[in-house]
Chains A and B, each alone.
Chain A
Amino acid sequence: MANDLGIESILAADCGSTMTKVILIDAIDSQYRFVAQGEALSTIEPPRADVLLGVRHAIGQIEKATGRLLLDEQGQLITPEQANGDGVDAFVATTSAATPLRLILAGLTGDVSIESARRAISSTYALVEDTISLDDGAQKERRSAESRIRILQRHQPDIVFIVGGTDGGATAPVADIAEAVALACSTMDGATRPQIVFAGNKEARPLVAEILGSKAELHIVHNVRPALDVEDLTAAQEELDGLYQERKMARIPGFGGLSAWSPVPVLPTARAFGYLIRYLARQYGLNVVGVDIGGATVAVAGVVDGHFTSVSRSDLGPSHNVARVSTEAGLENILRWLPFDMEVTEARDIIANKQLRPATVPQTRRELLFEQAIAREALRLTLAKVQQRWLGRPSAPYPGLSPFLDLIVGGGGVLAQAPHYGQAALILLDVLQPVGVSNLALDVTSMSVPLGVTATIQPLAAAQVMERDGFLSLGTVVAPVGTAREGEIALQLGITYDDGRSLEVEVPYGSLEVLPLSTGHKATLELRPTRRFDIGLGAKGKGATTELEGGAVGVIIDARGRPLSFPAIREDQQARVQEWLWGVGS
């Protein structure tokens, strides 16, 4: 038995804002395998208001499916696993159901460290409510002293995140900010007083401690911008993550009970998701991007050329935060993804009703495609934050376009529950717009997050389950980069199947086509781009031959162009979107 910790069976739970999912992993013939999954409504809100209830409901489904008793009569976890097979050896959990940290960002106007701070914040569940910055000029400063205090009083943030200055630079501006924050803190009582995280000029630390130390709880971490050309976000990210766990996750109703079941700390969902993406990249030496479209949060985690980046948008989940997606993306941008007309009134009503009842599912094709359109825009907005960080990497030779990715993993309700796998693939392609040759995978059983947290207690279990029972392969996408007139040939290809059959195809620019190659089958693909197109080999017109494994959708040739563009006329837009849907078999 490949197990040195005495842990053979594990329940791993992910408690989301909308749904709670639990998976059961067990050692079968000396190998860890996925056994069963349960899913229930999350029970964070009144009248139930106990996160553990939803976990018990989901575990109840696993009990029913497996016949294995996991909870005792009091609803407590049976642990360790009993001789009769009941119970489990360990329980681990993640959650994204807590309120995000509410931050006020304080820094110097126009300082690059403000942007670095925003990037540090974006990796955790946090919302920047407002920014306090120092203006120049005595008059402006005096006026803004009042407004700065009012900003803090109005928002009553959890954290004031102060940045500013490079290490060794002037300390006076940072001291000014600290004084403004200290004065604001003096007006607040203990219950509403924010904690302060200082991640600015290290020379200013003693001064900041002197000014703020007696006014609020102060956390000093490495400068996010120690030099103009150096960014160091790790310490600030870890501090914010820690504060999120301590100040937010711990306040989820019933969190104490959940926590007591687990021998390791309950993790934020996005962090566990990040662990898994990093594992995949490291284990197989790949450029990997994972997207998780949750009910309240959209997370993107990626490793490109060995560099890990992650962004969570706690305000853009297409269920709870659907209205925000609509406001930030613009309703027109949502409607452009539909192959039919929809009045603005109808769209607004659907959006409002989804926000009121986020756990509901679309029953008609019309509402389904509308929800998928919202998910595209939520993902697009989230991705925009990550894409900036890929600029200049060797695998991202085309500014403004995706880097070359070996693997794209999609997860979250809207993707995992898409009625046709082609729809899930199309959402990923429409937003990520990969270039070159990439594999597409779907986390159809929502295992990525539970496996990410499982890795903290039994890495082998996570690795073996991932290997054998992990993602569903959707297939391979080939997306040539280049431009031509609509209909001109962008790519010629030959595919030879494992039964000897072969096919020659000419792919016109602007088209989206799928070649059949089902799961369990292999093929050899010979790609011959025309002289104006690159298939990810770094040179236009350069071809290649590659071995492929099949997937639920097949081999997708996406020659629609990068970046993707829409016809100007609405009717043409709708016809084009319909063609794309037909193209992927939906």
Chain B
Amino acid sequence: MYYPSVTQATPLTVIKRERLLPVRGEVLVGMGARVEPIDVVARTSLGGELHVADAGKVLAVKSGDLDKYLLKAVGDTVKEGEAIAARGGGLIPLRRVCRSPVAGRIVAMGSGRVVLESRAETFELHAHFKGTVVSVMPSLGVVIETVGALVQGIWGAGGEAQGVLKMLAEDPKEKLATEAIDVGCHGSILVGGSLVDEEALERAQQMRVRGIVVGGMGAELRERAPDFPCPVIVTEGMGQVPMASAIFELLRSNAGREASISGMTRLRWGAVRPEIIIPLQGRGATPSPQQLGGALEVGAQVRVIRQPHLGSVGQVVSLPFQPRTVDSGARLLGAEVELEGKGRVFIPYANLELIG
């Protein structure tokens, strides 16, 4: 029995996502609320930068003696240049004053120093996709549920966005052509085939597209991920890799619909995969229960996740009991898979995943 990893590429399913604040704050919606992607569901304030005022040195007092000269306490807010400690005045001619270097709040004191946090910024948490609030976690966030299509990528970058899905490739093997990205792409999430390059990303920025979904991308572009103009999701891997047919067709069948995409990716320790959510609530369809996650069986739809067949999709036709020798010379256990357009191919278990 082999229990492979799983990628979701589901035309209709129940999608639930936790929407959590980075730090505790205020939840603004209640149970059962229907939300649109841009609705703010929770809010908090994020701490600013820390600054240190060396009050003991400025006042020329020992750290243990500073307390009696303090004008402010931990938790107090101060303006830039406001006095936070002072010594002298009256009969003492030389008055020494320690002033706050920033506008903000005093967060700690000790060793003759005062630590200030510059003014906090407000962080607003959006719903991200159209759905219903099905759980509220006070101060933390909410769980939103919808019914719709769901596609997981393997790598992404660039945060969250919403827009209309627009196909820019006729075939999963096609590259995302720069010249195809025109003014008509403004506000859209573009779906390409096998590759996006730097030039296409720049054009996407000029045309203010909302997101890009593509089979592959040159690994060297990953280093530039923080500069990407919009979320980019890679479905297969790095290099030029045709998008898996199951994913390409699913996206094509939803072209013209509103989608929410998240490029957020964490590979380990609470892995998070990039994803495309296409809410289809109210369209009368009922999702079938999810069966993915079990052992690999004959008949299962699988995707190959390593070269030389990376991205190919097929159906398991047999699970040989004995290991077989692959081109590397290794003898490995695996499955015989009927790959689309390639016929029956033996693939090691480790290089297969369930998709559906």
Chain B binds chain A: yes
Does A57 contact B348, Cβ atoms closer than 8 Å? no
Which residue of B is nearest A145, CB measured?
Answer: B52
Does B330 contact A356, Cβ atoms closer than 8 Å? no
Q: Complex: how many Å from CA A150 to CA B310?
A: 44
Q: Complex: how many Å from CA A54 to CA B5?
A: 12
Known: A186-B109, A363-B326. A146 touches B50 (CB 8 A): yes
Judge whether A353 is part of the interface by a CB distance below 8 angstroms. yes
CB distance from A417 to the nearest CB of B (A): 6
Known: A145-B113, A363-B308. A186 touches B155 (CB 8 A): no
> Using a CB-CB cutoff of 8 Å, which residues 321-356 of chain B contact chain A?
326-332, 347-348, 350-351
Q: Complex: how many Å from CA A182 to CA B50?
A: 15
Interface size on B, residues (CB 8 A): 52
Partner of A353, one of B110, B310, B327: B310
Does B270 contact A46, Cβ atoms closer than 8 Å? yes
Q: Complex: how many Å from CA A368 to CA B351?
A: 14
Judge whether A282 is part of the interface by a CB distance below 8 angstroms. no
Q: Complex: how many Å from CA A346 to CA B237?
A: 12
Does B267 contact A356, Cβ atoms closer than 8 Å? yes
Does B293 contact A47, Cβ atoms closer than 8 Å? yes
Does B329 contact A368, Cβ atoms closer than 8 Å? yes
CB distance from A59 to the nearest CB of B (A): 11
Residues of B within 8 A of A359 (CB): 5, 350
Does A146 contact B6, Cβ atoms closer than 8 Å? no
Interface SS of A by simple majority: helix
Which residue of A is nearest B290, CB measured?
Answer: A47
Q: Complex: how many Å from CA A230 to CA B341?
A: 68
Partner of A182, one of B111, B268, B271: B111
Judge whether B180 is part of the interface by a CB distance below 8 angstroms. no
Partner of A187, one of B50, B220, B329: B50
Render B2-17 as a binary contact track against A, CB cut-off 8 A, 1 for contact: 1111100000000000
Does B308 contact A364, Cβ atoms closer than 8 Å? yes
> Using a CB-CB cutoff of 8 Å, which residues 350-382 of chain A contact chain B?
350-353, 355-357, 359-365, 367-368
Does B108 contact A186, Cβ atoms closer than 8 Å? yes
Does A64 contact B57, Cβ atoms closer than 8 Å? no
Judge whether B306 is part of the interface by a CB distance below 8 angstroms. yes
Among A41, A54, A149, A349: residue with most chain B CB under 10 A: A349
Render A137-162 as a binary contact track against B, CB cut-off 8 A, 1 for contact: 01000100110011001000000000
Does B306 contact A45, Cβ atoms closer than 8 Å? no
Judge whether A270 is part of the interface by a CB distance below 8 angstroms. no
Q: Complex: how many Å from CA A53 to CA B115?
A: 47
Judge whether B239 is part of the interface by a CB distance below 8 angstroms. yes
Q: Complex: how many Å from CA A254 to CA B6?
A: 20
Does B155 contact A356, Cβ atoms closer than 8 Å? yes
Judge whether A243 is part of the interface by a CB distance below 8 angstroms. no
Does B5 contact A41, Cβ atoms closer than 8 Å? yes
Residues of B within 8 A of A53 (CB): 3
Judge whether A320 is part of the interface by a CB distance below 8 angstroms. yes
Judge whether A183 is part of the interface by a CB distance below 8 angstroms. yes
Does B111 contact A40, Cβ atoms closer than 8 Å? no
Q: Complex: how many Å from CA A329 to CA B242?
A: 31
Residues of A within 8 A of B52 (CB): 142, 145-146, 149, 183
Q: Complex: how many Å from CA A363 to CA B351?
A: 9
Does B307 contact A364, Cβ atoms closer than 8 Å? yes
Judge whether B218 is part of the interface by a CB distance below 8 angstroms. yes
Judge whether A483 is part of the interface by a CB distance below 8 angstroms. no
Judge whether A307 is part of the interface by a CB distance below 8 angstroms. no
Does B307 contact A356, Cβ atoms closer than 8 Å? no
Category for how many chain A residues contact B? 35 or more
Q: Complex: how many Å from CA A146 to CA B348?
A: 54
Render A402-421 as a binary contact track against B, CB cut-off 8 A, 1 for contact: 00000000000000011110
Judge whether B222 is part of the interface by a CB distance below 8 angstroms. yes
CB distance from B13 to the nearest CB of A (A): 13
Partner of A179, one of B49, B110, B328: B110
Residues of A within 8 A of B49 (CB): 150
CB distance from A185 to the nearest CB of B (A): 8
Judge whether B46 is part of the interface by a CB distance below 8 angstroms. no
Which residue of A is nearest B236, CB measured?
Answer: A353
> Using a CB-CB cutoff of 8 Å, which residues 93-127 of chain B contact chain A?
107-111, 113, 115, 117
Judge whether A294 is part of the interface by a CB distance below 8 angstroms. no
Does B237 contact A356, Cβ atoms closer than 8 Å? yes
Partner of A365, one of B269, B329, B347: B329
CB distance from A52 to the nearest CB of B (A): 13
Does A419 contact B331, Cβ atoms closer than 8 Å? yes
Known: A349-B218, A361-B351. A187 touches B107 (CB 8 A): yes
Residues of A within 8 A of B331 (CB): 419
Judge whether A464 is part of the interface by a CB distance below 8 angstroms. no
Judge whether A345 is part of the interface by a CB distance below 8 angstroms. yes
Residues of A within 8 A of B310 (CB): 353
Judge whether A99 is part of the interface by a CB distance below 8 angstroms. yes
Does B328 contact A364, Cβ atoms closer than 8 Å? yes
Judge whether A48 is part of the interface by a CB distance below 8 angstroms. yes
Which residue of A is nearest B350, CB measured?
Answer: A361
Does A64 contact B307, Cβ atoms closer than 8 Å? no
Does B268 contact A352, Cβ atoms closer than 8 Å? no
Q: Complex: how many Å from CA A48 to CA B6?
A: 10
CB distance from B23 to the nearest CB of A (A): 9
Judge whether A309 is part of the interface by a CB distance below 8 angstroms. no
> Using a CB-CB cutoff of 8 Å, which residues 1-55 of chain B contact chain A?
1-6, 49-52, 54
Residues of B within 8 A of A142 (CB): 52, 54, 57
Does B110 contact A183, Cβ atoms closer than 8 Å? yes
CB distance from B304 to the nearest CB of A (A): 9
Which residue of A is nearest B216, CB measured?
Answer: A349
CB distance from A342 to the nearest CB of B (A): 13
Judge whether A445 is part of the interface by a CB distance below 8 angstroms. no
Which residue of A is nearest B273, CB measured?
Answer: A46
CB distance from A522 to the nearest CB of B (A): 29
Does B270 contact A57, Cβ atoms closer than 8 Å? no
Which residue of A is nearest B109, CB measured?
Answer: A186
Judge whether B83 is part of the interface by a CB distance below 8 angstroms. no
Which residue of B is nearest A40, CB measured?
Answer: B3
CB distance from B42 to the nearest CB of A (A): 18
Q: Complex: how many Å from CA A367 to CA B239?
A: 14
Does A361 contact B306, Cβ atoms closer than 8 Å? yes
Known: A41-B3, A352-B237. A357 touches B271 (CB 8 A): no
Does A60 contact B351, Cβ atoms closer than 8 Å? no
Judge whether B86 is part of the interface by a CB distance below 8 angstroms. no
Q: Complex: how many Å from CA A145 to CA B116?
A: 12
Contact residues of A with B, CB < 8 Å? 17, 40-41, 43-48, 53-54, 57, 60-61, 64, 99, 138, 142, 145-146, 149-150, 153, 179-180, 182-183, 186-187, 296, 320, 345-346, 348-353, 355-357, 359-365, 367-368, 417-420, 586
5 contacts between A and B (CB under 8 A): A182-B110, A183-B52, A183-B111, A186-B109, A356-B267
The 6 closest A-B pairs by CB, nearest first: A419-B329, A186-B108, A352-B219, A349-B239, A352-B238, A368-B328
Contact residues of B with A, CB < 8 Å? 1-6, 49-52, 54, 57, 107-111, 113, 115, 117, 154-155, 218-220, 222, 237-239, 267-272, 293, 305-308, 310, 326-332, 347-348, 350-351
Known: A182-B110, A356-B237. 12 other contacts (CB 8 A): A46-B270, A57-B1, A142-B52, A149-B115, A179-B111, A320-B267, A345-B219, A353-B306, A353-B310, A357-B154, A365-B327, A367-B307
